[in-house]
Amino acid sequence: MTDLTPNNSFLIAGIIFITIAVIGKSKLAFIEINPGFFGRLLALFIGISSLLYALGLLNFSAGTLDLLRTSLTEQIKQSISSINELLQGS
């Protein structure tokens, strides 16, 4: 028997959420699934992101997050300095 790795878990969860988004209102034995419009939209978003993560397209590492954080702080500093220049110039 194979082990259930996180990659397989995201693949299974993605398939389940995509199925809920596509089918919508249904009955499974004694369980009724009726997510509504926003529930189906949320299930579609979660399903697609789970499948992308399982395929490795949405894999974020710590280095990527650090790079994102430093670039974001640099952009904030630049925008604050440009706003200060505009305020002092007028």
The answer on pLDDT for 69 being more than 80 is no
Let me know whether 44 and 10 are in one domain. yes
pLDDT in tens, 16-38: 888 888 887 777 677 777 778 88
Average pLDDT over residues 59-70: 61
The DSSP code sequence of 14-53 is HHHHHHHHHH-SEEETTEEE--HHHHHHHHHHHHHHHHHH
Let me know whether 14 and 54 are in one domain. yes
Please state the separation of Cα 9 from the chain's center in Å. 16
More confident residue, 71 or 67: 71
pLDDT band of 65, cuts 50, 70, 90: low
Let me know whether 78 and 48 are in one domain. no
Average pLDDT over residues 59-88: 71
Let me know whether 65 and 54 are in one domain. no
